[in-house]
Structure 1
């Protein structure tokens, strides 16, 4: 099998050198070139025909966001953003994902907590995953008409104790936005785990809140869970729920990683299954790996309705694909139908 051709785009000679060395260490990948700015990259893409790009956000002459916007319009292809994983860098990185970047990773630092060998493993995993991503999956994904769903929730009451849990990874920020922004104000409570770094979850929740009729929060420990609200797991803690005399509350757990993740979709789904039983619904969206697939099966076995996103609309059909193979999904749906399905099962 021919190696995956990677083009590095970064204005720092040191970063280009580090990335080249790391990527070239895996026989499945080949660095076909390295550009120091988007203008040079544009010519190299034509000449070298790479399978996947790494793209820096902060560059002279043209920034990564402007370049990505043009690239996805004229020549859509898999892109992994190399970004500053800080609160400051979060809005730009989330914008890059909304423009069609498949994934992102921080800049390699020799003095970072994530050692260079761990960083190398992570970027190799992300590049291989990105090379197989369906970069046009989100094209033409229609938002369900919130007005139509609103009419449904006004004509019928919501089931008491109903709660929906959603899990996602690669491609998930935009998939979750497509679902949540389609929900009417009078929606059931929804808890969400998206694999995301600690500095990004606050920005993600704010961005989602601004695009939605429902209220979106970054979940706080012991925060009451209410109808018409969505709770996003913080980037450094597992999100669980507890049932009290007054309803469900959020519980945050900074314990060990599960399936290499914290927050983990499996932890959320198992908690919802334990606390809500057959009153729960589980939804697994686009993502690399299999986090949450086994737990979605346990939800289905407990009598819950379960949904997996279909392959055609998934950026990466890893997690939903694993769930489908296990028989964990009662329904496999295109992204545009997920919000309506949640409302349908939440109504009495």
Structure 2
């Protein structure tokens, strides 16, 4: 198998060497060149046609965001951004993802700690995942046909509905296409687990809130759920939903990661299953791995009337999580991203809630 050819773009000579050394420690990866800014990087992408690019956001001459826009327009290639662990860094990272970056990793404030084993493994894994993403001259449009699977679900309809969503790689972009299309009178609360570090989930919630008709916020421990509000699990916290009297409330915990994830989609889904006299809809969007599939099994075991939706392969940036969910044979609908909102609204109408 040919190695994954990577171009490293960073204005710091030290960081260029650190990232290169981290990547080439894996025999599946070859660093074919480095570049000192976006302008230099753009020229080398056109000349060398790398499989993946890693790029810093903050650079002189041409910064990462400007370079990314030119890359996506002129020579699309999977890009993994490097971001600082600051509020501004988080905002810029989400901006980069909305412009087509596949994923990102955070740079610690102490750059010397970049070379630790955990960070090395993270950047290697993200580059390998990015290499499997098929790019097009413009971000992949949400198209294709939906499929209703032969999963029989006896639905017992109740007054209250809850929507749970799980996603990972490619998720911020998918959520940016899905959440703003929901109507302001959406008659259910939405709980979202997006695999992201602390700080970035707050920026994601604020960004989605500014674009959407519904309210979007980072979840707070103990708060009561309201219809027409989406709650995003904070980075590094598991999110569960519990019944408190007649209301539903959020529980955040710092229990051990589940299969490497905190927050975990499995934890959220499993917590929703036992809730009584509530319609449940589970949605699995783009992402690497299988988080959500075990939780979906538990959810369906607790409440067979749960409806499950998986994003279709045609629109998922990474079809790992939706594919794993479909393999459980508990998914009712496979839907392209641009039809998820319509599917949710139809399901709510079926309950007489919209």
TM over 0.5: yes
Aligned partner of 1:321 in structure 2 is 323
Instruction: For 1:93-132, list aligned pairs within 5 A.
Output: 93-107=93-107, 109=110, 112=113, 116-132=116-132
Which runs of 5 or more residues in structure 1 are unaligned?
143-157
2:14 match: 14
Q: C-alpha distance in 1, partners of 2:337/2:44?
A: 35
Q: Secondary structure at the match of 1:198?
A: coil
Q: Is the 8 A contact 2:198 2:234 kept in 1?
A: yes
For the 8 Å contact 1:138–1:313, the answer to whether it is kept is: no
- Give how far 1:138 is off: 4.4
**Residues 110, 43 of structure 1: alpha-carbon distance in 2 compared, 3 angstrom cutoff:** closer
Q: Note if contact 1:285-1:319 (Cα within 8 Å) is conserved in structure 2.
A: yes
Structure 1 residues 222 and 165: alpha-carbon distance in aligned structure 2, compared to 1, 3 A threshold: same
- What do the CA deviations read for 1:47-76 (whole angstroms, capped 9, x no partner)? 221000001111110100000011111111
Aligned to 1:182: 181
SS state at 1:274 partner: coil
The CA deviation string for residues 250-299 of structure 1, in whole angstroms up to 9 with x for no partner, is: 11111111111111111111111122576211000001111111212333
How far is the alpha carbon of 1:214 from its aligned partner?
0.5
Q: What pairs with 1:1-348 in structure 2 (closer than 5 Å)?
A: 1-107=1-107, 109=110, 112=113, 116-136=116-136, 138-141=139-142, 159-187=158-186, 188-276=188-276, 279-301=279-301, 302-303=303-304, 304-347=306-349, 348=351
- Cα distance in structure 1, aligned partners of 2:135 and 2:212: 24
Structure 1 counterpart SS, 2:61: coil
**1:153: which partner in 2?**
none
Give the Cα–Cα distance (whole angstroms) in 1 for the partners of residues 244 and 170 of structure 2.
34
Of 330-339 and 133-142, deviating more is 133-142
Cα deviation for residue 332 of structure 1 reads 0.7
What is the RMSD of the two structures over their aligned residues, measured on CA atoms?
A: 1.8
Unaligned runs of 5+ in 2: 144-156
8 A contact 1:296–1:323 mirrored in 2: yes
Q: Which moved more, 1:57-66 or 1:321-330?
A: 321-330
Aligned counterparts of 1:104 and 1:44: Cα–Cα separation in 2 = 21
What does residue 147 of structure 1 align with? none
Q: CA deviation at 1:126?
A: 0.3
Offset, 1:134: 3.3
Distance 1:174 1:60 in 2: 26
The residue matched to 2:181 in structure 1 has which SS?
coil
Query: Is the contact between residue 170 and residue 287 of structure 2 (CA under 8 Å) also seen in structure 1?
Result: yes
The structural deviation recorded for 1:110 is: 5.3
Contact 2:162 2:189 in 1 (8 A): yes
Paired with 2:102 and 2:130, the residues of 1 have a C-alpha distance of 6
Number of aligned residue pairs: 332
Superposed CA offset, 1:102-156 (max 9, x none):
00001264554x76111111100000000101334943338xxxxxxxxxxxxxx
The 8 Å contact of residues 165 and 269 in structure 1, kept in 2 or not, is answered as yes
List, as ranges, runs of 4+ consecutive aligned residues in structure 1 with deviation greater than 2 Å. 107-112, 134-142, 274-278, 297-302
SS of 1:139's partner is coil
